[in-house]
Amino acid sequence: MSQPLLEVENLSKHFDVHHLDQRVFAFSDVSFRLFPGQFLLLRGCNGVGKSTLLRTLYRSYVPKHGHIWFDAVEGRIDLASAADVDITALRRRDIGFVTQFLVARPRVAADELVAEPLRLAGWPQDRALDEARRWLGEFGVKRELWRAYPTTFSGGEQQKVNLARALVLPQRLLLLDEPTASLDAGARHALIRRLGALKAQGVAMIGVFHHPEDVVELIDVQLTLAVKEMADVAE
């Protein structure tokens, strides 16, 4: 088997709630390996830390303990302790985060927002816009909205724009946080087709899905997180 793309060792994350003098454990001692083209489904009840684990892997949160070894082009790097500049470079090129929430900038059209990752990767402006519009259409965004501002869209339409932007440029690792929430049937099917195509190209994925049956044919391995209790904050 090939080299793991991602190797997580004894990863732990907690939050200190200072006004309660308590510690909330999100997850503890999580370990797994993920290979190119594998799809890992995160399972567990609400509040168990699934989304927190994804955000920690993406380094939006810094873990308290453990390692996140990523097989970058330049060599193996520990995302748990890597410099912010390295994390930014990896996010632009290798690691994508797909969420149900769109953070759209005011007065930026939908097609320009989706085209941005392609332009940052060196695509010519016209080609990037053509590809962006193709994926907006694939996810069911109406043509008359392509030049409109997503900040004016409904939640479902914003999510389609978000998916098009997140998936327009294939990356080596995708972190999927409830991407099917609020999607209509057509957009949901388009998403599953796109994930299947990316998986066939060797993209590794870790996903949280409220309805895992949506991606049952893509799943290679499952990881179940257990509930951790609050504890007094150690001085």
* Nearest CA among 203, 137, 192, 124 for reference residue 170: 203
| Start-to-end C-alpha separation, the chain | 46
Six token digits for residue 160: 């389609």
Per-residue pLDDT band for 232 (boundaries 50, 70, 90) equals low
> What would the mean pLDDT of 29-43 be, rounded to a whole number?
96
pLDDT of residue 155: 82
Residues 6 or more apart in contact with residue 233 via CB below 8 angstroms: 16, 17, 18, 21, 22, 23
Beta-strand relationship, 173-177 and 204-208: parallel
Six token digits for residue 99: 């969420």
- 61, 62, 66, 72: CA torsion to nearest 10: 80
pLDDT of residue 231: 52
pTM: 0.89
Per-residue pLDDT band for 24 (boundaries 50, 70, 90) equals confident
pLDDT of residue 5: 97
Six token digits for residue 140: 């069911």
